[in-house]
Structure 1
Amino acid sequence: MTAADNSLLPWFDDVHAFLCEGKFSPWSNILREQLQTFLHDKEHGDQARWLEALDSLPAITPDACDLTSYDLALTKTQLDDAQRDAVEQGLRGLMPWRKGPFRFFDTYVDTEWRSDWKWDRVAPHLAPLKGRNILDVGCGSGYHMWRMLGDGAGRVIGIDPSRLFLMQFQAYKRYAERAHGTLNIDLLPLRMEDVPPRLRAFDTTFSMGVLYHRKSPIDHLQELRDTLRPGGQLVLETLVIDGELGEVLMPEDRYAMMRNVWFLPSVETLLLWCRRAGLKNPRVVDLNQTSLDEQRSTDWMRFNSLPDFLDPEDRKKTAEGYPAPLRVVVLAES
């Protein structure tokens, strides 16, 4: 393991200590080995550059850190020009930014996704998050995790194997903890397969934008169910199609330019999958056509985005001719 890899391990000391408690202990017993394996065996060529960008961010103590605002605003009444420039340049070194938005003092990170819109659609339907232990599968850079904490969650743990998302998460966490002290929120650079089977420990598990990337969606639903304590709540968001019970779209190759899309069920088929996976009372709380205002290229994510993935002559179809992205939110209990 490189020196840079070793330098990341202390980031996870707090969550490791938490997982040592009671029903979470099966994970704590293997977590350090998982992290060492990931950081050693899956080195990323850009990691040194990202760490340099992260460490270049100036040590500013925010006057406030609002975990309930749409942009998770970090504020400071007096910043000099050098600090402003250093914040923006450090954050630009961590581009592309996909999920957000975030406000780092005078720098507004206008991310590809307006993730706050999704949160506004989901949050009113959730079981109260106050005091709950939450797992966020495929959490990206952690935007929704911060909103969960802002709504009173007791502990939030996200998993996502992207090293860049981890650096972006740490950029915000460093400033948030300067304002609030130690916060019960962590992003583990791991995959769903790394969560111990049948853990049955979390009060709420989120899986948003993951199911359609799985070759075996029923297995994924069962894995999600098994992260939950009895009576715990699953929050599932995924792509669906209009159609009857039993209908499923499997793209020939790409879907909206994405290669790793496997199954897009009708809503009724998805609910059946949930029931067959052992989830109780699955129900739809939101159905939304993704708009060109919700997902688009920005100055902070300069690659192609949704407008480029759709048929320019018919925005109701993808570039491949499939139905344009339609997203559903389903709640269910274990």
Structure 2
Amino acid sequence: MAKFDWRKHFNPVLTHLTDAGQSGWAETLTTQLTRRFDENPHGDMERWQSALDSLPAIPGAIADLNQPAVTLSHPDALDAETRASLESGLRGLMPWRKGPFDFFGTVIDTEWRSDWKWERVAPHLSDLRGRTILDVGCGSGYHCWRMAGSGARRVIGIDPGLLFMFQFLAAKQYSGPVPVDLLPVRMEDLPTDMECFDTTFSMGVLYHRRSPLDHLLELKGTLKRGGELVLETLVVEGPEGYSLMPEDRYGQMRNVWFLPSCPTLIRWLERTGFRNPRVVDVSDTTTDEQRKTDWMRFNSLADFLDPNDPSRTIEGYPGPKRATIIAEKP
């Protein structure tokens, strides 16, 4: 099998960054992608590339980004052979965690009902029309597509997971000229204080950071003056100043560091220089929103909760509660 041609997929966004005055970022990113794909490729790259390459060409596809499932369709029904080839290729990219997606009638019921999160967050956002957006920790890009459906001028998602990238490319090849890209890099790989985005999303990332305040400062550095931060993270009940640090795992996740109370999180945002931070939603995560499916067959939330008290994790901590906070950069 030929080596993964990352330039074919990423040259358009590299050109966009250069044209947008971010030539330094484009040069750094080119070096990072060369190392990632040419010098130290992931062991599963060949399998994922084979699945992506097996997806059938479907000219004339239509993308509808304003439905609960990111929907790709065609005016004509697909024949049985094309449908079978499509599903086989998509299943080669399992597990699918963030979604849902509808590929020409093949519905991918992902582990997370990410559309529920979007429905909670979207009513509180500034008008996204014409805005440039960064989505940090975007997974396979579900929310990036929804942001584009809301009229964003350009959406760039970042997530180091290469399986997420291949899942994104599966949708990208059928989406037409939608201005959405996913870069397989980490937050710390971005230039500092680039100040080039109107809105930055960080959803489900903060509790994975050993230094949450540094993460907030990194996020602030991505925003233009007056830009909007949308932060969603795990929280716990408690007064200002309280934050839970698990002894080891939280809900079987190893890399969970700080779960603050909402008043503590507001104080963190104030101390890192954000203006007008406000909690717009607090919701318990349920086994209806995160669960095992035919497209994600590994353990999920039900396996991570105390079977005798589902309001607590299997380790005895308060069950997952998520807050969304919006703030501005002065």
Q: TM-score, normalised by structure 2?
A: 0.97
Find the residue that maps to 1:193 and give its secondary structure: helix
AA paired with 1:288?
S
What residue in structure 2 maps to residue 14 of structure 1?
12
AA paired with 2:12?
D
What residue in structure 1 maps to residue 116 of structure 2?
117
What residue in structure 2 maps to residue 283 of structure 1?
278
Matched, 1:31 2:29: yes
What residue in structure 1 maps to residue 325 of structure 2?
330
Deviations 1:312-331 (A, max 9, x none): 11111000000000000000
Q: CA deviation at 1:34?
A: 1.5
Deviations 1:13-47 (A, max 9, x none): 11111111354333123121121122245421111
CA distance in 2, matches of 1:3, 1:195: 29
Q: CA deviation at 1:65?
A: 1.7
Q: CA deviation at 1:63?
A: 4.9
Off by >3 Å, runs of 4+ in structure 1:
none
Computed over aligned residues only, the root mean square deviation of the Cα atoms, in angstroms, reads 1.2
Compared CA separation, residues 216 and 41, structure 1 to 2 (3 A):
farther
Larger displacement relative to structure 2 (13-22 or 196-205): 13-22
Work out which of the residue numbers 278, 287, 298 in structure 2 matches 1:303.
298
Deviations 1:71-117 (A, max 9, x none): 11112332111011001000000000000000001210000000000
What residue in structure 2 maps to residue 98 of structure 1?
97
Find the residue that maps to 2:70 and give its secondary structure: coil
CA distance in 2, matches of 1:323, 1:42: 40
Compared CA separation, residues 284 and 30, structure 1 to 2 (3 A):
same
Find the residue that maps to 1:244 and give its secondary structure: coil
Larger displacement relative to structure 2 (17-26 or 143-152): 17-26
Q: CA deviation at 1:146?
A: 0.1
Q: Confirm or deny: 8 A CA contact 1:23 1:199 kept in the other structure.
A: no
CA distance in 2, matches of 1:296, 1:333: 34
Q: Confirm or deny: 8 A CA contact 1:71 1:100 kept in the other structure.
A: yes
Q: Which runs of 5+ in 2 are unaligned?
A: none
What residue in structure 2 maps to residue 321 of structure 1?
316
What residue in structure 1 maps to residue 139 of structure 2?
140
Find the residue that maps to 1:108 and give its secondary structure: strand
Q: Confirm or deny: 8 A CA contact 1:135 1:204 kept in the other structure.
A: yes
Larger displacement relative to structure 2 (17-26 or 208-217): 17-26
AA paired with 1:281?
N
AA paired with 1:60?
I
CA distance in 2, matches of 1:199, 1:63: 35
Q: CA deviation at 1:221?
A: 0.2
Deviations 1:280-334 (A, max 9, x none): 1110011000011000000000000000000011111000000000000000111
What residue in structure 2 maps to residue 226 of structure 1?
221
CA distance in 2, matches of 1:20, 1:123: 30
Compared CA separation, residues 173 and 63, structure 1 to 2 (3 A):
closer
What residue in structure 1 maps to residue 58 of structure 2?
60
Q: Confirm or deny: 8 A CA contact 2:64 2:70 kept in the other structure.
A: yes
